Amino acid sequence: MLVTIAPARGKEKTFGPPRPNWLRAPAPAGGNYRELKDLIARLRLHTVCESAACPNVGECWNHRTATFMILGNVCTRRCGFCAVEKGAPLPADYDEPRRVAEAIAAMGLKFAVVTSVDRDDRPDGGAELFALTIRAIREKIPTCGVEVLVPDFQGKAEPVETVMDAAPDIFNHNTETVPRLYRQVRIGARYERSLQVLANAGKLRPSTPTKSGLMLGLGETAVEVLAVMRDLRAQGVAILTLGQYLSPSPRHLPVARYVPPEEFAELGQAGLEMGFAHVQSGPLVRSSYHAADAAQ
């Protein structure tokens, strides 16, 4: 079994046999990468690209795209798959929406993705800051599309309404894995709750596409994945992402299996046949990978 640490300082570190060839991503480098890294540091922002050790950070940043992570970089949950720091949450920064909009303007983005850590310490789960960030982006760059990737807000309906009132272009909430694996993968989350979040968003603004994603390679079966895909379609979800789980460190859940590209292709085709408007399915796909393509 392979346990992998995500690339650091341009080098891939592995424990056990090397990754399969289809899982090799370019190391983060290049002028755009360095420029964006400096910009994000100067504006005191966080990106899921860095905090979650995404393997696509080099590709995305060199194409001048990034997923901004608001409400700090410390999560109140301890999911077994996630590289984001866990612990006591940071105070909410109400200037952060302005700085996110400033960064997006400086990057010249036509489409932006905004996510957050889980903030179970806040009554609204952080929904207010999502709404403020959407509105700040709209005010500074009216032509920029905005996707939000939100937590489950502990199943509360009001936070979803707060976010949808700010009119994001895409509402994304990841189911992450199959119901059988929730207790070990998504500690503190519930499968039915995630489905309800997506259903609520769709009912509030039927014209706004909803989106969800799963990680494969945690021990799920193809039958279980197809069942989740059908559940998502039953809630009206239009956009689906499927990608390979990579263990961030030896302290995280190990990879149970590396799913070959042809299986991703088969699942992607099955998703289109189920009625998803757009499916991105591949080993290096992540929930916000090529998000603008899905929006189009």
Is the domain defined by 24-295 classed in CATH 1.20.120.80? Answer: no
Q: Report helix, strand or coil for 112.
A: strand
Report residue 17's pLDDT band, with 50, 70 and 90 as the boundaries.
very low
The pLDDT, as a whole number, for residue 175 is 95
The pLDDT, as a whole number, for residue 81 is 57
Supply 207's token pair: 């014209």
The residues spanned by each domain of the chain are 24-295
The tens digit of pLDDT for each residue in 95-107 reads 999 999 999 998 8
Task: Provide the 8-state DSSP code for 94.
Answer: T
**Backbone angles phi and psi of 138, in degrees to 5:** -60, -40
CA proximity to 116, closest of 106, 131, 101: 131
Is 271 exposed, middle or buried (CB count within 10 Å of its CB: 0-12, 13-18, 19+)? buried
| Identity of the amino acid at 182 | Y
Supply 132's token pair: 């403020």
d(CA 199, CA 207): 13
The pLDDT, as a whole number, for residue 36 is 76
What is the residue-wise DSSP string for 15-49? ESSPPPGGG--PPS-SHHHHHHHHHHHHTT-EEHH
The pLDDT, as a whole number, for residue 51 is 46
Instruction: Considering only the C-alpha atoms of the chain, give the largest distance between any 2 of them, rounded to a whole number of Å.
Output: 50
